[in-house]
Every structure is written in C-alpha cells, then in structure tokens.
Amino acid sequence: MADAFPAAYQEDFPADRAVADLEVLDGLAAGELSLRLWVPAGAAPGERRLTIYRAGERLLLSDVLPLLQHMGVSVVDERPYEIDRIGSRLSWIYDFGVAVPAGSATGSCRCCARFPSGSPTPWTPSGAATPRTTASGRWCCWPG
C-alpha cells in the first residue's frame, strides 16, 4: 500500500491519514469527487486545508481555482498527489492551503460534498452545478 503513495505524500501525512484517505477514495466511483475542509495543527486564524479526492481523471488547477475563489477563499498553495494502486483505478488527492475570511462559518467544521459520477460538477465541461452551501456561508460544511 505504501508504494501507492508518492514520496511527497508520505512526507506530508502520517500513515493513519493515508488509511483514511484510501477509505474516501475507495468509496468513490469513477468520475466522483469528495471534499474535506480541515484545520491543521497550529494553524493561524483563517488558515485551513481543503482536500479534494478524485477517482479517475485528474482535475485541472485552472478549473478548480475559479470555483474556490467563488467560494470566498484565497488559495495559498496546492499539493497534488497521484495515487496509483495495483488493481485499482488511478485516483488523485489535491491538498490546498486556503485562507478563509474572518467571521466565516468554517471555524471548526469539515466540508464533505460529493458530486456523483455523470452529474454536472464545477469541474466538468457542462459545469452547471455549484457546491452545496449553508445558510450562513458559502461552504458545504457542518460541525465535525
């Protein structure tokens, strides 16, 4: 299993995170994606990480950035990881450093939206869908 993860991923995340990430990827059908918004240890106010899990084709940064900007965050860095396991489809984990505006509803929540295969998503050519939101903000979050 360790060979499925690139060296950069192994340096950035512990083994228990890799196991949890594989569980997310295993739950996705080809073309689906899932999101996770989280607060890193020792984060400054407004500092978050957004992880996008993708089964199948990779996402283009030029397609993702406008949506994240529309969601009201500033992207400060991106770490893409190609996950290539023998006997499994190619998958991707994109880890973005984001800065959320002061007073947003993302203090201690996680973002877990799923866009099913075949439905329009912000990252497909038909692109008609928008992320689920809460009444108080633009994030698809709930406490967690």
Two tokens at 80?
A: 């893409």
Question: Which residues of the chain have a pLDDT value below 70?
Answer: 1-2, 103-144
Catalogue the E-assigned strands of the chain: 33-38, 47-55, 74-83, 91-99, 109-111, 114-115, 141-143
Contacts of 62 (CB under 8 A, 6+ apart): none
* pLDDT of amino acid 1: 58
* pLDDT of amino acid 103: 64
Q: Is the pTM of this model over 0.85?
A: no
Convert the pLDDT of each residue in 26-67 to its tens digit.
999 888 888 888 888 999 988 989 999 999 989 999 888 888
* pLDDT of amino acid 34: 87
Give the N- to C-terminal CA distance of the chain in Å, as an integer: 28
